[in-house]
Amino acid sequence: MTDPLGPNTTRNLCDKMYEKRKQGAQEVETLVKELTANDEKERILQIVDYLIVNFSTSPNGNHRKGALIALAAVTIALGPESHSLLNKLVPPVIKSFSDQDSRVRYYACESMYNISKVARAKILPFFNEIFDGLFKLFSDTDPQVQKGAQLLDRLMKDITSENESFSVDAFVLLLKDRLYVGNPFARQFLLGWIQVLDSVPHIEMLPYLPEFLDGIFNMVSD
């Protein structure tokens, strides 16, 4: 696949230094803004595909980090128009939640935060996968990854709380499957979601209480 970014930007995104990768992402953002202004949607799509194929699946950890920061940069550049590309932009980031490299996992949290901050309610179709990723990341062995997950978690709580279209039925199913976990950080994550959603005026949690009460009692008894 022909490089649609140019050699300098590609080199920066692959660099081992964070500042260089950040510079590369800023260059991607500027380029995508220019392409958007000129209505060059096909070239933007080529950039996204190039990042996914050549960076996000690379065996080189720095390349994968570069992909994450660049995919977020594309989303920021597109703004509200990014929703049409979320099906391409989001899955590589979710996949990176389980990367073997803890720094990649951290940057995945950061990237998803920036994408979700732009997408807002448009990110909700990916809620199940993001929730599952956060559930695991809260128990990560790396404290920095945990901090990144906590930041993303707060944003996701804000987004779900402000959207009446959020499906409580689907959420309760996600919750039930995980309530018997032993890890204290994962338990804290789950209880935090119950507390937040219970405080939202347009969400009625009481009818669902029998679904997860046994799991909560199990946590308390331990």
User: Which alpha helices (H) appear in the chain, and where do they start and end?
Assistant: 7-14, 18-37, 41-51, 61-78, 86-96, 102-119, 127-137, 143-161, 168-176, 184-198, 209-221
The pair of three-digit structure tokens given for residue 21, joined into one six-digit string: 């990768």
The pair of three-digit structure tokens given for residue 61, joined into one six-digit string: 């950890």
Place of tokens 């909700």: 124
pLDDT in tens, the chain (222 residues): 789 999 999 999 999 999 999 999 999 999 999 999 999 999 999 999 999 999 999 999 999 999 999 999 999 999 999 999 999 999 999 999 999 999 999 999 999 999 999 999 999 999 999 999 999 999 999 999 999 999 999 999 999 999 998 999 999 999 988 998 999 999 999 999 999 999 999 898 889 988 888 888 887 776
Is 134:153 a contact under the CB 8 Å cutoff? Answer: yes
Q: Could you tell me the pTM of the whole model?
A: 0.95
